[in-house]
Amino acid sequence: MSLLFEPGKIGNMELKNRFVRSATVELLCTEEGRVTDVYLKAYERLAKGGVALIIPGNYVVNPLGHNYPKAPTVDKDEVIEDLRRVVSVVHEHGAKIVGQLNHAGRQADPKLIGAKPVAPSPVRDKMSFVKPRQMTEDEIEKTINEFGEGARRVKEAGFDGVQIHAAHGYLINQFLSGYTNRRKDQWGGSIENRMRFLVEIFQAIRSRVGPEYPILVKINAEDFAKTGVHPEECVVHCKKLDELGIAAIEVSGGIAEKGLNTIKGDLPMELFLEGRGPVERLMVRMMEGSLKKSAAFEEGYFLSQAATVKRNVKVPVLAVGGMRTRKKMEEVLESGQADFISLCRPFIRQPNLVKLLERDDGDPISCTSCNHCSVEILFHKKSMRCYKT
């Protein structure tokens, strides 16, 4: 039997195969972040489709950390009842579910949060032009606790684990990165200091969820910024997390201001320009070349970085980013480059793709990474579905 369908384990979590649905912003909740029937249906469809582990789109730990509307915020106990309904539909169909915790920091949407976004340092984002406000030490401590409390709520709702979002240019990544973290206090400077925020978040979560509960992380191997996180630094981060007791590491890359490195594929330019004013259109046109370069696709575009992490840690590694063919996915598992295959865009198009792969010897994945979904969901804030025409 193909290794893809062999059971696997993350911490104490038994998984029926090696497929993970990587975290995906859905915009399927109400404006107030309440779970809807459409949201539940989307998760039921995924669970029925045979994937072993599902990671919903980031649950924000504080309203200041929102980057997308219509998503649950895990900052109050009332959210637990809603999340229980999500867990229930997923468990009913034999899949496991892990809640991703996030704070967008300087990548938060100012219109959505009604305030100036916060960050380790006031470094302007060259894509959104947002100049964030530097967090005080009190705010840093408070945010660490909010991640801990968010994890407690996710556990109380019955989730099988939590994933710390330390990738994609969001707040934790901003602390890790020398590009966005210019602090001179205990939270900045040396790699140990820049890592302190993540380490303390891990500890705040662990102290609330107990020693056995799986805590996963999604982390950047590369920010694609000159003084940002690079693979050697990422190995240091991952070794530390391994030592602390992380259950699994999903290796990704890219920050919003550096283009489409996270979601490589086509750049549907006309769609990307839709709804923008003349000045913005001109700016985007000027960046077209570098945006296209950042989007250049090759299958498994973070695989070499995942394999590097895998060689340096004891825990399972999830490969994410452009995995599209059965041959490649089998090769990854057989060669030991990673332990799980994590997919996002293919599941938007085909929530049942694991069943299709199980049934069929060929390559049923029809996602072409056209990025119509990315532009419509992430930029135009439309709800999750395949927008390929």
Ligand X SMILES: Cc1cc2nc3c(=O)[nH]c(=O)nc-3n(C[C@H](O)[C@H](O)[C@H](O)COP(=O)(O)O)c2cc1C
8 Å CB contact between 300 and 322: yes
Residues 6+ apart with CB under 8 A from 389: 372
Q: Which is nearer to ligand X, 155 or 218 (CB)?
A: 218
Give least dist CB 137 to ligand X, A. Answer: 27
**Per-residue DSSP letters for 290-353?**
HHHHHH---TTTTHHHHHHHHHH-SS-EEEES----HHHHHHHHHTTS-SEEEESHHHHH-TTH
Alpha carbon distances (Å) from 329 to 106, 191, 365 = 35, 33, 12
Give least dist CB 300 to ligand X, A. Answer: 9
Gap between the Cα atoms of 109 and 124, Å rounded:
14
Tell me the angle at which helices 79-92 and 37-48 cross, rounded to the nearest 10 degrees: 30
Give least dist CB 49 to ligand X, A. Answer: 15
Give least dist CB 322 to ligand X, A. Answer: 4
E-strand ranges in 120-245 read 133-134, 161-166, 215-222
Gap between the Cα atoms of 300 and 179, Å rounded:
26
Q: Is 76 strand, coil or helix? A: coil
Residues 6+ apart with CB under 8 A from 65: 102, 103, 104, 105, 108, 113, 170, 171
Residue written as token pair 């219509």? 70
Give least dist CB 168 to ligand X, A. Answer: 6
Give least dist CB 278 to ligand X, A. Answer: 27
Residues 6+ apart with CB under 8 A from 95: 16, 46, 47, 51, 52, 53, 54
**Interface contacts to ligand X, rule CB under 6 A:** 22-25, 57-58, 100, 165, 167-168, 218, 252, 262-263, 320-322, 343-346, 373-374, 377-378
Give least dist CB 136 to ligand X, A. Answer: 27
Alpha carbon distances (Å) from 159 to 98, 122, 298 = 6, 35, 33
Q: Which is nearer to ligand X, 188 or 321 (CB)?
A: 321
Residues tagged active-site: 170
Ramachandran region, residue 11 (left: φ > 0; alpha: ψ -120 to 50; beta: rest): left
Q: Which is nearer to ligand X, 174 or 252 (CB)?
A: 252
Q: Which is nearer to ligand X, 62 or 100 (CB)?
A: 100
8 Å CB contact between 18 and 326: no
